[in-house]
Amino acid sequence: MRVGFIGLGNVGAKLSGSLLRNGFDVMVRDTDKDVAAALMEQGAVWADSGRALAEVCDVIITCLPSPVVSAKVLEEENGVLEGISEGKIWLEMSTTEAEDVQRLGALVEAKGGIAMDSPVSGGCHRASTGNIAIFTGGKREAFEKVLPLLSTMGREIVHTGKLGSASVLKVITNYLAGVQLLSTGEAFMVAKKAGIDLAVAYEAIRVSSGNSFVHETEGQLILNGSYNINFTMDHEVKDVTLFDDLAKSYDVPVELSPVCVSAMEDGLKRYGPRVWSSQVVKRLEDDCGMDLRAPGFPEYLTDHEPEEKGAEVVVTFRASYE
């Protein structure tokens, strides 16, 4: 099975690296060929166009920054769609909207291909070790075909249902992470104002009902002051806005979501689009004239768990696969 990988950013380079490290035949493409250099040294082959990549690969993976970019990569002249033929699988690993992936999926299927959405969740540090979580939407038989790839790139793989369902769940989980990031910053600031050692506060929250994945990961980077989560503020604003728009489209009267979007937009306005998303907590630090530093916390996250082959998560009470 030959795999084509388009989009070698913070996440894409790590996912494609996992495939190479585990013996897969990988072809790569990005707008910047220089970012592919390390992967090519490991055996990856460069593709001069999306069409050229799709023509020779069995599975075409896209891992791109926005729905607009994904659409361009597929639909442009010499793009992926021009190289799609019978039986080829397009695996969309970008964070996108269900409607976008379904529209593009219909174009793929019209050419005899198979479309799946397969975003990841869990942070760049886990993507680098093949231990990240992966959601995948699409037909069950197609899911079973790509499971060897998915279980190489990720640890826990969830077949979410029909095409587009994985993208919905990815937007939902990103929104939850955004809310938890804001609440983590507020909790730390209240603890500090109350005179509590922030290292103690961190551990107390970690072992309590108030714990979250964001607290255990981004919380450490806030206390260090690096904020270096390898995810930028512009993407954070995009993600929480995707959720807010999704909720509105279903007439769900959400209350926390607009507050979250407003806070993230203010962070972007204050600090710029390319700062790390965790820096949204700096708003509180600036407004209170007090930082949230504590000694001993890491500058960046490292996944200390050994790389293991992933597996599908069994959903005990699943009603159906569609």
User: Residue 289 region, left (φ>0) first, then alpha (ψ -120 to 50), else beta?
Assistant: left
Catalytic site residue from 170, 192, 238, 282: 170
Backbone angles phi, psi at 49, to 5 degrees: -160, 165
> At how many degrees (to 10) do helices 213-224 and 165-193 cross?
50
Give bridge partners of residue 115 from the DSSP assignment.
Answer: 90
Active site residue 88: no
- Residues 153, 12: contact at Cβ < 8 Å? no
Tokens 């799709």 identify what position? 54
Rg of the chain over all Cα atoms, to the nearest angstrom: 20
Backbone angles phi, psi at 156, to 5 degrees: -120, 120
* Nearest partner of 236 among 212, 266, 210, 256, judged by Cα: 266
Please report, in angstroms and rounded to a whole number, the separation of the first and last CA atoms in the chain.
26
User: Can you state the percent helix, strand and coil of the chain, rounding each to 5?
Assistant: 50, 15, 35
Q: DSSP 3-state assignment of 123? A: coil
138: nearest Cα among 171, 188, 93, 179: 93
Catalytic residues: 170
